[in-house]
Chain A
Amino acid sequence: MMPYSERFPRNSPTLSVAQQEKVRRSAFSIIGLGGTGGFALECLVRLGAERLIVSDGDRFELGNFNRQLLATDRTLDAKKADAAASRARSINPGIKIKKLGKFDSGPLSARAIGDSEAVLDCTDRLPAKMEIAGLCRKLRTPYVFCSAQGPRGMVSVFSGYPFEKAFQVDEKRLAPKHCASTLCPAAALAGSLAAAQALNLAIGKPVVRAPNAMFFDIFDRRVSWRARLG
């Protein structure tokens, strides 16, 4: 097997030897392996992360092809967690990847994500996000909010700030609803920014913490800016 140092040399000198080693040793959890989660996974693996926990109970379907990196003819109808593990190992066979099915806030999931440097929430439903954010808050694990819809996206790191306060959650918004369309560049950008925040958490660089957030609209001339939640 090709040595780690030969696989990711071009991360240097942007990442120092110590920073690269920190990324390698850190555990990152990615919940949701669809549009944003697939790109977040790709970035973390290519950044050199070797300890990943991935969670998704779904299988790939034709409706995923427009935006989901891991959705291909070869993975059609395959479990997303299996496809993610396979993709990660094809980039770095040395990776240790723990697959969870559908995420819940029970003790097994809590134990699995508990020692993560960051939990990247790449799910697309508000109730699921609330559950994951709540668990992370309880575990005192940094929670990276990641969302893309239509041409827009948003990323923010929660480390103590109440999720409910940021989003002013009410029952109407919690009602189950269909996902709207999302364009691939929006999913890619949100997932990549979430991975970047996880990287920054691992190596001690600044992150955008709630109530601040990064927003973008790919149809806008300004790709990103900061705004305040809540």
Chain B
Amino acid sequence: MRDFYTIEPCATSDSFEIKFAKGAKIDIEKAAKALGRACQVLAKTPVVLVLKADDHSASVYASGRIMLKNVTREEAESIGRKYAAALEKGGAFI
């Protein structure tokens, strides 16, 4: 699984940004397939995938960032691990 870390973003409160190590980029099409099983896909463009789950919402960017909203740091780390595994399995990292 990819190594990752979370940092506090400057956007809205209760949000966290996940950036993957080694500057990995994300294939949005493959990410939609990989993450769409567990989350509802609200929007998909060539640069961003907007997802909604029961306990959080997320924006997955082609540049390799994921913004997790309405989560604590602990939840962000846990969700991030799941996202990383799903993206890796789905071959979505470029």
Q: What is A's interface to B at a CB cutoff of 8 Å?
A: 34, 58-59, 61-64, 73, 76-77, 124-125, 176-181
Contacts and interface: CB of A to CB of B under 8 A. Distances in A.
Contact of A178 (B13, B61, B63): B13
Contacts of B11: 61, 63-64, 179
B44 to A, nearest CB: 13
Summarize A's interface: helix, strand, loop or mixed.
loop
Given A77-B61, A178-B13, A62 B8 contact: no
A77 B13 contact: no
B48 A76 contact: yes
Interface string B12-28: 11110000000000000
Interface of B: 8-15, 45, 47-48, 50, 59, 61-63, 65, 67
Given A63-B15, A76-B48, A179 B10 contact: yes
Given A61-B67, A62-B48, A63-B67, A77 B62 contact: yes
Q: Is the interface of B mostly helix, strand, loop or mixed?
A: loop
A61 B59 contact: yes
Given A59-B61, A61-B9, 5 more contacts: A58-B10, A63-B11, A63-B67, A76-B48, A125-B10
A194 B13 CA distance: 26
Contacts of B50: 62
